[in-house]
Amino acid sequence: MPHRLNLARQPIMSRQENILGYEFFYRDHEGKCSFDDPRHATSSVLVNLLNQIGTASSFGDTLAFVNTDGPLLLTDIIRTLPKEKIIFELSSSIRHTAQIHEAIRYYHSLGYRFALDNASFHPQYLQDFGPIFPYMEFAKFDVTQTDNEEFLYLPNPYGKMTLIAYKIEFLEMLEAYTQFGFHYFQGFYFAKSHLITHNRIDPKYMDLLSLFSLLQSDASIDDIYDLFQRESALSLQLIQFLTSTHPKYLYAASSIKEMIERMGKSALTQWLLLIIYSKSGTMSKNAANTYSVYAQERVASMLKLLYLTTPSPTTKLIEEARLVALFSLLEKLMKIPLENAMQGLNPSNDVKDALISNSGLLGRIYAAVLKLEVGDTITAALLLKQYGVSQNQLV
């Protein structure tokens, strides 16, 4: 699997160019919009946004518009996602069943937000989608497929929705749809879709299945955590997901195990299914992408040096060393300063001091790990000399 992921986005904005949000589009490893399974495309977009890129750098304080297929609405996965940040777009090709309509009504009652994509005045469209109009917050119209006269002479069933015109390419289109009551616009007149590339952090697919099996068999939290200890890429995705969706589960957590306990097995299962549906796991150790291997190696290096400096470390110290290794990767992963990430995570002072000022035992170990990663065993040994570690032990 390629080492970098692709995701396209295009802004949705007012005439004054105030950004309402971004629509995100699936792209494969070649940057193409090519997929066979809509559920895979939707899941892939959500995993890339929430687990890998993060909401802070992908859409910040605005909204994310994501195309959503019907089958995904029939799962509990939606309940693990941030309802205040994501607008679920329903395409005109979605299958209309009583179960789908009930799922939309249910999620709307919980505060989830929906938009109609490629809305229409066609009688068949109005008949199919009419029952769910009360739950729609936005209606998006493709200006290349819409007859302007319909807004002037037909009864408007979209009156309570915020209207968005897309494929706006010329000023004349913008002016016309402004007169029809549209408040937001999307298209080349404002900006083309932009391709985002980002480091991948994919866990091994067999570990995903093993974790799913553990959750299905109601295994203990200790057994579940054992797997997270072996698969640092999975831990990194969990941290990024919680940062994007439920930061309260991260705040002042002393270990990945505590984050899992706060999240709960049910939500963890739905999060895991989202990753499985997205097909983002690597098939073997040899296929693991560079960033995932890098994460695993940094955790292993931190723990190795911890045992060299402290022959019998406490469980608390081991967990803190693991968090230092994982949190140290967030700056490059999330593309925000590490100091800012620490504010949201609020780790222990020992972890924070290790990462920000390289002070204390964990700070010395972390600084030594960074030197070892560039082959500088001499400086690494000097950093750990006071703990009785020699250069020969680091080779």
153 Cβ neighbours under 8 A, 6+ residues apart: none
> What averages of pLDDT result for each successive group of 10 residues across the chain (395 residues)?
81 96 88 73 90 89 91 88 94 89 96 95 93 96 88 80 95 93 94 88 85 93 93 90 91 93 95 86 54 85 95 93 91 75 85 93 96 95 94 90
The first and second tokens of residue 153, run together, are: 């002479």
Instruction: Count the neighbouring beta carbons within 10 Å of the beta carbon of residue 171.
Output: 9
Q: What distance in Å separates the CA atoms of residue 170 and residue 180, rounded to the nearest whole number?
A: 16
Tabulate helix, strand, coil % of the chain (nearest 5). 55, 15, 30
Kindly give the interhelix angle for 205-216 and 265-278, rounded to the nearest 10 degrees. 150
Beta strand 194-199 with 162-166: parallel, antiparallel or unpaired?
unpaired
pTM of the model: 0.87
The pLDDT of residue 296 is 86
pLDDT of res. 206: 85
Domains of the chain: 4-198 (3.20.20.450), 200-394 (1.10.3210.10)
How far CA 280 is from CA of 3, 167, 195, 235, in Å, comes to 11, 31, 19, 15
